[in-house]
Amino acid sequence: MKKFSISFLFVLLMLSCKQGPKTSDSDPDQLAQLSSAAAAEGKKLMETKCYLCHNPSVPENGQRIGPPMVAVKAHYLDVYKDRESFVAGVMEFVKSPSEENTMMRGAVRRFGLMPSQQFAEDEIRKIAEYIYDYQIKEPDWFKSHWMDRRGDSLYNKGKKLTEEAPSNQSPKELGMKYASETQKVLGKNLMGTIQNKGVEEAVVFCNERAYPLTDSMATNFNARIKRVSDKPRNPNNKANATELVHIETFKDKVAAGESFDPILKEENGKIYFYYPIVTNTMCLNCHGTPEKDVAPEVLTHLSRLYPDDKATGYGPDEVRGIWSIVFDAPNSGN
């Protein structure tokens, strides 16, 4: 079977950080520290983009698919001693991840190398700056683990973020929350299956478990949550006429290297939310070119479970489909 390279995925957020000790008013690191609003944005981006693989809540001996983010922070702090070089180093790795430029060789051996992905540069910067400036959540076991090996008690230094009470979320924020949280659940289970049982079993997992997991998240959020495509694997995921138009819009933006926001429409007290699902190199194990990217054993499973499969032939950084989510408009009274 073709070996599957499990991503740290958002290891992009191989981000790590540091904040130096208290310094004088003229210290450039201190002057550059994020405002509370920018820090809150960086924290939210980290949790959305990184925690699928680097969640600090996963037990030490649990089904982890990547090291916790604080481990990333600690390792990168060993190398990058000031804020500017740290942020630059993180961004360089994310643009071109490789075993040669990783700071976590042990993690790469255990979990695999992060695949090349399409991430907005400004978001990577905000995450890196946040992790550098602020303490981040760490598992209970990590401190002793790190101290036994490195003896460095400053691995998670930085300011503590004082968060304001949450305000009412906008439709855009709600839609992104529903999409990202559902993706976390699907991704964690999918990559855990790949890591422990292989890509063929991951195909079976998608066939048997993807819909029940998505439905459970939809029930939790009181929303309708679907993943749809113009080239569906499961006929139930076929995009309708409106969704096909939005898929083409996102395809044009991604192909041109442009940034994109969700598409939202409000109608009859409902919010209709659309956001692209973009491939990375990990996706190609099931959605790439047959025989080249997709192993024969995987193709056999796909043919058996999805006789009308159209979801192959993709390359990295292509729109494979979109999230199509419907929920009550805030303050609609529904």
pLDDT, averaged in runs of 10, over the chain (334 residues): 38 33 43 74 85 76 75 88 88 83 84 72 91 92 88 86 69 93 82 77 82 87 96 95 97 90 96 94 88 91 92 93 95 60
Q: Are both 129 and 181 inside the same structural domain?
A: no
* Measured distance CA(281)–CA(300) in Å, rounded: 21
With beta carbons less than 8 A apart as the criterion, state whether 308 and 143 touch: no
Domain assignment of residue 160, yes or no? no
Domain assignment of residue 159, yes or no? no
Q: Are both 176 and 314 inside the same structural domain?
A: yes
Domain assignment of residue 106, yes or no? yes
What's the pLDDT at 239? 97
Looking at residue 83, what DSSP letter applies? Answer: H
What's the pLDDT at 60? 65
Task: State how beta strands 270-278 and 224-228 pair.
Answer: unpaired
What's the pLDDT at 12? 32
Q: Are both 194 and 110 inside the same structural domain?
A: no
**In CATH, what number is assigned to the domain containing residue 77?**
1.10.760
* Measured distance CA(237)–CA(334) in Å, rounded: 27
Q: Are both 49 and 194 inside the same structural domain?
A: no
Q: Are both 130 and 184 inside the same structural domain?
A: no
What's the pLDDT at 331? 73
For CA atoms 163, 165, 170, 176, the dihedral sign is: positive
Q: Are both 118 and 253 inside the same structural domain?
A: no
Q: Are both 184 and 297 inside the same structural domain?
A: yes
Q: Are both 64 and 120 inside the same structural domain?
A: yes
* Measured distance CA(137)–CA(259) in Å, rounded: 29
Domain assignment of residue 243, yes or no? yes
Q: Give the global pTM.
A: 0.63
Domain assignment of residue 100, yes or no? yes
The SS3 call for residue 334 is: coil
- H helix and E strand count, the chain: 12, 4
* Measured distance CA(128)–CA(88) in Å, rounded: 9
Terminal alpha carbon distance of the chain: 51
Q: Are both 177 and 288 inside the same structural domain?
A: yes
Domain assignment of residue 47, yes or no? yes
Q: Are both 197 and 316 inside the same structural domain?
A: yes
What's the pLDDT at 101? 85
Domain assignment of residue 199, yes or no? yes
Q: Which two tokens stand for residue 154?
A: 């400053």
Q: Are both 145 and 175 inside the same structural domain?
A: no
Q: State the Cα angle at 215 between 210 and 219, rounded to 5°.
A: 155
What's the pLDDT at 166? 52
What's the pLDDT at 163? 63
Domain boundary among 92, 116, 149: 149
With 0-12 CB in 10 A as exposed, 13-18 as middle and 19+ as buried, what is 224? Answer: middle
Q: Which domain holds residue 126?
A: 28-149
What's the pLDDT at 115? 67
Helices (H), the chain: 28-32, 36-54, 69-79, 83-95, 105-111, 121-133, 142-149, 171-197, 199-221, 241-255, 284-287, 296-305
Q: Are both 133 and 189 inside the same structural domain?
A: no
Domain assignment of residue 135, yes or no? yes
Number of domain units in the chain: 2
What's the pLDDT at 70? 92
**Starting at the edge strand that comes first in sequence, how are the strands of the sheet with 224-228 ordered?**
224-228, 319-328, 270-278, 263-267
What's the pLDDT at 6? 36
The SS3 call for residue 196 is: helix
What's the pLDDT at 50? 80
Q: 70-94: b or e for each residue (b if 16 or more CB lie within 10 Å)? A: bbbbbbbbeebeebeebbebbbebb
